[in-house]
Amino acid sequence: MSQIIWDGLFVGSFYALIALGYSMVYGIIKLLNFAHGDLYMLGAFIGFAVLASFGGLATSLGLFALIIVMMLSMVITGTVGVVIERLAYRPLRGAPRLAVLITAVGASFTLEYGIAAIAGPNPRGFPIRLTGDVFLVLGARVTLPQIVLMIIAGLLMIALDTYIRRTSTGRAMRAISLDMKGALLMGVNVNAVISRTFFIGSALAGAAGVMAGAYYGKIDFLMGFIIGLKAFTAAVIGGIGNIRGAMLGGLVLGLIEAFGSELVGGQWRDAFAFAVLILFLTLRPTGILGERVTERV
Amino acid sequence: MKTPRRTTALLGIAAAVLLATTACSGGLLGGDSEPDGEAEAGPIKIGMVIPISGSSAPTGAYMENGAQLAVNEINDAGGILDGRMLELLVEDEACDAQQGVASANKLVSSEVVVSVGGYCSGATLPQLPIFGGANVPMIIPAANSQDLVREGLDNVFLINGTGLQQSTAALDFITKSGYTMVALVDDNTSYSTDITTETESQITEDGTAEVVLNTSVNAGESDYSAVVRDITGSGAEIVYWTGYYQEGGLIVDQLRQAGYTGDIMVADGSADATLAEIAGDAAEGVFATMTPTPDTLEGAEEWIANYEAEFDAAPGPYSTQSYDAVRLAAEAIETAGSTDGDEIIAALEGISGFDMFSGPLEFTDEHTLSNGGFVILKMEGGKFILEDSLS
């Protein structure tokens, strides 16, 4: 039982980290950024490339090297996120929502098959592997890498939450999500704030990618697809557009999956997760933390 | 309003005409354009559909090299049928059914005489009617699902041990080593479920061991904690994973991280050094049911040296089977004295004692090997070495 909960929470913290970027982008420009999962994949591949180019030096430094590589990878994926927004989404900002959605799918395929063309289609083993002690907590096996990764994820999430609540950029983000035109009239530099939102969201996905590579040990160019959809599901469960909702949604989805696969078998995991998505969309489309917003005329 | 509509109509007609003419040229003109004399004297085309892209691409490269090595040797020795050269045409299957069908069609339209490809059973199965319809004999070097045999087609020959033979080898090892509780895990593909189904029914029939868990996972995920919990909770002494190595590596690693201390065995789809690359140290001591690879075969040193000289790389899984498939095809064409499909099939059925890496070849009535040649390998220092030849 406690093992199921722990497994669920661990996977859930990955979902939460990726769901944050999804949710932020949706909150601010009402766009479902389907390329977001592929930024997670991109982060893993950048981490792989950096570690491979440093060779034995980086692997001998272990966790320390991993954190440096993760930061580097965050900067690069963040920048790629900004570039995607600038090239693919901004020109379509006045266009119907469907057009932007399809562009996002296109951006997703471009990233996937771009990486497949550059790095090859084969799965790669990640150069750094996190290994460590095992603790027994209430009967559940908890490993040191799991704890470290969850702490990193937690710190990143707390930093983001503080950033949005305490800084002027954060205030501007919240203002734009409420009323973009109004914010513009009040002198907020809307484009700059949206760029920053993409940077932060993409950087978090990149961090999750490096963490997944180091923990699971395998990366491939399609690894972002399913987890992107899972992050979307997590964002919907928590209340899309709501930052704390995304974190909660990630953890809840992880737990739902863990209990679901215990109940009906591991091969039903994805079917179960997406059935929950459909259930939420029909019964409570605003998610756990979302509020019912009446359309203003 | 008028002009665009007329343009569309015209375009439509033009497209229809184009389609009609290309369809004709493929069907009627294609056959006539080549004078008979040239077809008799030109190279004999051998087709090969293997994974060049996708997750199984490394194995595809080994297979292509193995086949090419045989083609080169035969051509250097003067070719077959009085000096005609062999030409290997390779197409991608990407372990995907649709891609496999498209590639098979392409090969059939390039008039291959024999097919020596087939790695992923799921991608190979839909190719059978295509090659069958064109009367092209298939010598399948790697794919070995019982589904391929069940089709019962005359033109299909399997020179890798079948799923049934593989599960017999697994059972032999399980009973020999005295395991009593076995967990079976597959990845829901045709190849993989075939082995678990056969293994489960054989273990149940045999009665010395018991299947405590038979479950499946979704390929392409990272987190397999659910199946890991099932296995550790089942009390299994040995886990038999029958899917491919990319998931296999993750499952092996996650099993060890979860504290599983029993043994792990994988089927031939996972018997690759990449398993150790993904699973790290956790892969040490993993067993595999596998047909002999060059580095586990005795007396293959000269062949390995030739291969390394030719391709500047070590031979991998299924390079020997692909090499044998081409040699077998050449032998059958030579015996038949013709490139006609029916005559080659008759020649293949009549072959007896042809020397291959897996031993002297005899086909059963089902066109499978009379002896699967499966052995047990064990991972040591990141490489699979021979553990038990089961003979």
B344 and B252 assigned to the same domain: no
Same domain, B120 and B214: no
User: In this model, does residue B13 exceed pLDDT 60?
Assistant: no
Q: How many CB atoms lie within 10 A of CB B77?
A: 9
* A122, A134, A265 member nearest B259 (Cβ): A134
Q: Looking at chain A from residue 143 to 172, which residues have their Cβ under 8 Å from any Cβ of chain B?
A: 143
pLDDT given at position B369: 87
Please choose, from the candidates B319, B323, B324, B326, the residue with its C-alpha nearest in 3D space to the C-alpha of residue B356: B324
Task: Provide the mean pLDDT of chain B.
Answer: 85
Q: Does residue B14 sit within a domain? A: no
Same-domain status, B180 and B258: yes
Nearest chain A residue (CA) to B60 = A122
Interchain pair A217, B249: CB under 8 A: yes
Has residue B285 got a pLDDT over 90? yes
pTM, to two decimals: 0.78
Q: Which of A164, A153, A166, A163 shows the shortest CA–CA distance to A242?
A: A164
Same domain, B278 and B318: no
Whether B161 contacts B374, CB under 8 Å = yes
The verdict on residue A102 lying in a domain is yes
Q: Which residues of chain A have pLDDT under 70?
A: 55-61, 291-297
A297 inside domain? no
Can you state the angle between helices A144-166 and A168-178, rounded to 10 degrees?
Answer: 80
Restricting to A residues 265-294, those with a Cβ less than 8 Å away from any Cβ of B are: 265-267, 269-270
Place of tokens 């591949």: A45
Ramachandran assignment for B373, one of left (phi > 0), alpha (psi -120 to 50 degrees), beta (any other): left
Query: What stretch of H or E contains B157?
Result: strand B156-158
Residues B64 and B203 in one domain: no
Cβ contacts of B225 on chain A, cutoff 8 Å: 7, 10-11, 258
Residues of B in contact with A222 (CB under 8 A): 220
Q: How many CA atoms lie within 13 A of B302 on its CB side?
A: 2
> What residues in A contact B230, CB-CB < 8 Å?
266
Q: Does residue B276 share a domain with residue B302?
A: no
Identify the bridge partners of residue B362 per DSSP, sorted by sequence position: B352
| Nearest-Cα residue of chain A relative to residue B279 | A217
Would the pLDDT of B29 be above 80? Answer: no
In a domain, B273, yes or no: yes
CATH of the domain at B262: 3.40.50.2300
Contact B222 A216 (CB under 8 A): yes
Domain range enclosing B200: 164-290+376-388
Distance from the Cα of A296 to chain B's closest Cα (Å) equals 40
Task: Specify if B315 maps to a domain.
Answer: yes
CB contacts of B215 in chain A (<8 Å) are 265-267
Q: Name the residue among A123, A124, A262 with its Cβ closest to that of B226.
A: A262
Measure the CA–CA gap between A51 and A66, rounded to whole angstroms.
Answer: 8
Q: Which two tokens stand for residue B205?
A: 């029939």
The answer to whether residue A92 sits within a structural domain is yes
One-letter amino acid identity for A144?
L
Number of domains present in the structure of chain B:
2
User: Does A296 map to a domain?
Assistant: no
Which pLDDT belongs to residue B23?
Answer: 43
**Residues B170, B234 share a domain:** yes
* Interface predicted TM-score (ipTM) over 0.90: no
Which of A273, A230, A163, A287 shows the shortest CA–CA distance to A22? Answer: A230
A222 has a chain B CB within 8 A of its CB: yes
Name the residue in chain B with its Cα closest to that of A256: B226
Handedness of CA B144, B145, B149, B151 (dihedral sign): negative
What pLDDT is stored for residue A293 in this prediction? 55
Mutate: best of A2, A222, A255, A261, partner B, most B CBs <10 A: A261
Mind telling me how many Å the CA of A197 is from chain B's nearest CA?
28
Residues 6+ apart with CB under 8 A from A81: A21, A39, A198, A199, A201, A202, A203, A205
Lowest mean pLDDT among A38-47, B39-48, B233-242: B39-48
Measured distance CA(B145)–CA(B166) in Å, rounded: 10
C-alpha span between B287 and A226 (Å, rounded): 31
State whether residue A4 sits within 8 Å of chain B by CB.
yes
Give the pLDDT band (50/70/90) at residue B11.
Answer: low
- Whether B262 is in a domain gets the answer yes
**Total domains, chain A:** 1
Q: Indicate if the pLDDT at residue B279 is higher than 70.
A: yes
Torsion of the alpha carbons at B389, B288, B258 and B250, rounded to the nearest 10: 160
Considering the domain boundaries, does residue B199 fall inside one? yes
Structure confidence at residue B26 (pLDDT): 40
Instruction: Say if B334 falls within a structural domain.
Output: yes
Distance CA B191, CA B252 (A): 19
Residue A294 lies in a domain: no
H or E segment at B184? strand B181-186
Question: What pLDDT is recorded for position B174?
Answer: 94
Whether residue B256 sits in one domain with residue B187: yes
Q: pLDDT at position A59, please?
A: 59
Q: How far apart are CA B240 and CA B199, in angstroms?
A: 9
pLDDT, tens digit, for every residue of B128-183? 999 999 999 999 999 888 888 888 899 999 998 888 889 999 999 999 999 999 99
The whole-number pLDDT of residue A286 equals 83
* Per-residue model confidence (pLDDT) at position B386: 86
CA A18 – CA A8 distance, rounded (Å): 16
At position A177, the amino acid (one-letter code) is S
Together in a domain, B233 and B382: yes
User: What is the per-residue pLDDT for B40?
Assistant: 62
In a domain, A291, yes or no: no
Note whether B155 and B173 are same-domain residues.
no
What is each CA distance from B30 to A136, B21, B75, in whole angstroms?
71, 12, 27
Q: B186 and B238: one domain? A: yes
Q: B284 in contact with A at a CB cutoff of 8 Å? A: no
pLDDT digits (tens, 9 = 90+) for A127-137: 888 777 888 88
> What is the signed CA dihedral for B40, B41, B43, B44, rounded to 10 degrees?
30
Nearest CB among B223, B229, B258 relative to A11 is that of B223
In a domain? residue B70: yes
Determine the Cα–Cα distance for residues B125 and B16; give it in Å rounded to an integer: 33
Return the exposure string of B37-61: e unless at least 16 CB atoms fall within 10 Å of the residue's CB, then b: eeeeeeebbbbbbbbbbbbbbbbbb
- Nearest by CB to B229, which of A3, A129, A216? A3
The predicted-structure confidence for B80-89, as pLDDT tens digits, reads as follows: 988 899 999 9
The percent of residues above 90 in pLDDT, for chain B, comes to: 52
Under 8 Å between Cβ of B221 and B189: no
* Partner-chain contact A270 B55, CB within 8 Å: no
**Helix/strand/coil for A174:** helix
Longest dimension (CA), chain B: 83
Task: Say how many C-beta atoms besides its own lie within 10 A of residue A133's C-beta.
Answer: 9
- pLDDT over 80 at B14, yes or no: no
* Cβ–Cβ below 8 Å for B278 and A134: no
Whether B243 contacts B219, CB under 8 Å: yes
Please report, for the domain that includes residue A268, its CATH number: 1.10.3470
Per-residue pLDDT for B346 more than 90? yes
B204 and B307 assigned to the same domain: no
Q: What is the pLDDT of residue B38?
A: 44
Q: Does B30 map to a domain?
A: no
- Residue A218: helix, strand or coil by DSSP? strand
What does the pLDDT look like over A183-237, one tens digit per residue? Answer: 889 888 999 999 999 999 999 999 999 999 988 888 988 899 989 999 999 999 9
Q: What is the DSSP letter of B369?
A: B
Which of B368, B367, B340 lies closest to B136 in space, CA to CA?
A: B340
Cα dihedral value B88, B92, B94, B95, nearest 10: -50
Confidence tier at B7 by pLDDT (50, 70, 90): low
Domain residues for A208? Answer: 1-283
Residue A55 maps to a domain? yes
B263-266 and B238-241: which strand pairing? Answer: parallel
Residue A295 domain flag: no
From the list A129, A216, A270, the residue facing B218 with the nearest CB is A270
Question: What are A168's two structure tokens?
Answer: 């002027």
